[in-house]
Structure 1
Amino acid sequence: MADLLAEYDARLRTEAEMHGAVEVRRAGPLWIARFDGDHLFVTYRELDDTSARVGEVSAILAADTTVRTAEWKTRTHDRAPGLESALTAAAFEPDEPESVMLGEATTLVDMDPPAGVTVRRLTTPSEIRAALDMQDAVFGEPFKAESMLAAILRQQTDGESIEVWAAEADGRIVSAGRIDRIPGTAFAGIWGGATLPEYRGRGIYRALTAARARSAVAQGVRWIHSDSTEGSRPILERAGLVKITETVPWVWQRNEI
């Protein structure tokens, strides 16, 4: 596992995490990215002067009122003494921990959908928007679909390899997720996996993951990684991926007056 963690740190941190950003700035060890819409994203490797670095980000948030939300991404294996206290003092709140999963893409490819379910890549904006709306409903995060759709369409227009896949049953989308190949690496990330509650436990999500993995392998991808909730982690573990660390997103939201 140590080798996988080292590969993750070397290939998928800092610049790779800025993939898809419309604006990137540096503040010492921090990478600060603006994505489509009103969201700021902060990542790093190692930190010493944590209070000062959090203060720099707080100053950016205070100055730029177009930013409505921010995420400071942490990993449990990083060294950043005092970071949690500094983030709490700056009005960031921890979200649910997620497992960082990593493994060979070929371990995921062998799973067909159950009877009555079709898995396919979505290609039109209306189809993609329908999948994103379903994910919003599952995750309880309204109004993210519009900004996410804009980001996906922009990346596709720019020639970047981001795909949205869905499983359909009974005339509707019941599960969906993205796969995003990281330029210049042999990695792809699987993101946004969501399945309607009444369709869980049938192997649909596993089949959706297999379809995404097959597409990635066909494009030369060797490794798949994912930040997984406790709902999807066991599925990926059974498929051969390994938990190498945990990530906790610390979230900030602007208070509207």
Structure 2
Amino acid sequence: MNKIEIMREYNGHERQRINAFNGVLTSDKDLSKFVSEDRYGSYISYYRFNENQASTIVKQQLDYFNRRNVSFEWKTYSSDEPKNLPDCLLENGFTQEETESFMVLDLAMTDNIAVEESLITEVSDSQGIRDAIDVQEQVWGGDLEWQYRYLLALKKASPDSISIYVIYDNGQPVTSAWITFNGDSPFAGIWGGSTIQSHRGKGYYSLLLNKRIADAKTRGLKYLTIDASDMSKPIVSNRGFTVIATTTGYTSPTR
């Protein structure tokens, strides 16, 4: 797998062109950003500029979002320029999040694994999506209301752009995950992939992973991507995902 070429394709198809539901995509020569209609959920999608511009551009983006009274995330990729961007973000009060591995699966090089469909519920209404987000909040903490609204808006506006899955135990949502599709992009992205503490070790994460791999292959896509935590990385590595870069999120200072 040519990591440089994969990253170039991904940047063009996924970071510079995104599903701008529940917000707007704004681009100029230096960067692309998604501006959410909510207080949270905005982010810098793509960037590329010189090191001597970094401090100025960071301050410009802070001013842009502050004037709109919204928080935003700036996710850095180890493959991107400039290399001094993380230092500039920290110097301007951003909070550094955990580093993850941006990993890609060549779908032509992996086989389907039988999926026990009876354990999986695909959700599309407000209650089902709420259940999916409830799992995420239990696992990761915090208020993810903005994410609930984004997923609901995306599912309503473009139902073929996302599939959301929940595993229930006696009516309780215990695992959730989703997969997104972006128009004619050769990439699909998998997100969520979380199980509450009391139900780990039952293979639910792998079940939804294999389901989403099958979804992407059925659609004839070329690649599947994930930002993998240290917990997820060994599991997806066993399914053939390759590390292309590392990513680190930086959250803007609150006002």
Tell me the TM-score normalised to structure 2 length.
0.88
Distance 1:174 1:5 in 2: 38
- Among 90, 93, 111, which residue is 2:92 paired with? 90
Task: After TM superposition, list the pairs within 5 Å mapping 1:105-124 onto structure 2.
Answer: 105=107, 107=110, 109-113=112-116, 118-124=119-125
Q: How many Å apart are 1:88 and its aligned residue? A: 1.3
From the superposition, tell whether residues 185 and 235 of structure 1 become closer, same or farther in structure 2 (CA, over 3 Å). same
| Partner SS, residue 17 of structure 2 | helix
8 Å CA contact 1:29–1:47 kept in 2: the answer is: yes
Q: How many Å apart are 1:45 and its aligned residue? A: 4.1
Task: After TM superposition, list the pairs within 5 Å mapping 1:51-90 onto structure 2.
Answer: 51-65=55-69, 67=70, 69-90=71-92
Per-residue CA deviation, residues 121-148 of structure 1 (Å, 9 max, x unaligned), is 113210110121111110112x21x322
Q: How many Å apart are 1:76 and its aligned residue? A: 1.0
> Share of identical aligned residues, percent?
23
Q: How many Å apart are 1:178 and its aligned residue? A: 0.8
Q: How many Å apart are 1:199 and its aligned residue? A: 1.8
The equivalent residue for 1:153 is 152
The equivalent residue for 1:7 is 6
8 Å CA contact 2:174–2:196 kept in 1: the answer is: yes
The residue identity in structure 1 corresponding to 2:154 is: Q
Q: How many Å apart are 1:111 and its aligned residue? A: 4.6
From the superposition, tell whether residues 131 and 156 of structure 1 become closer, same or farther in structure 2 (CA, over 3 Å). closer
Task: After TM superposition, list the pairs within 5 Å mapping 1:73-222 onto structure 2.
Answer: 73-105=75-107, 107=110, 109-113=112-116, 118-141=119-142, 143-144=143-144, 146-159=145-158, 160-222=160-222
Per-residue CA deviation, residues 152-198 of structure 1 (Å, 9 max, x unaligned), is 22222322511111122243221111100121112110001111112
Distance 1:119 1:4 in 2: 33
8 Å CA contact 2:187–2:225 kept in 1: the answer is: yes
The residue identity in structure 1 corresponding to 2:55 is: S
8 Å CA contact 2:22–2:153 kept in 1: the answer is: no
**Equivalent residue pairs, number:** 248
Distance 1:214 1:128 in 2: 21
The equivalent residue for 2:33 is 32
Tell me the TM-score normalised to structure 1 length.
0.87
Q: How many Å apart are 1:20 and its aligned residue? A: 3.9
Per-residue CA deviation, residues 45-100 of structure 1 (Å, 9 max, x unaligned), is 432111111011021133222x1x21011011222142122111221111000100
Q: For the aligned residues, what is the CA RMSD?
A: 2.2
Distance 1:225 1:20 in 2: 20
8 Å CA contact 1:18–1:33 kept in 2: the answer is: no
Q: How many Å apart are 1:220 and its aligned residue? A: 2.3
The residue identity in structure 1 corresponding to 2:217 is: V
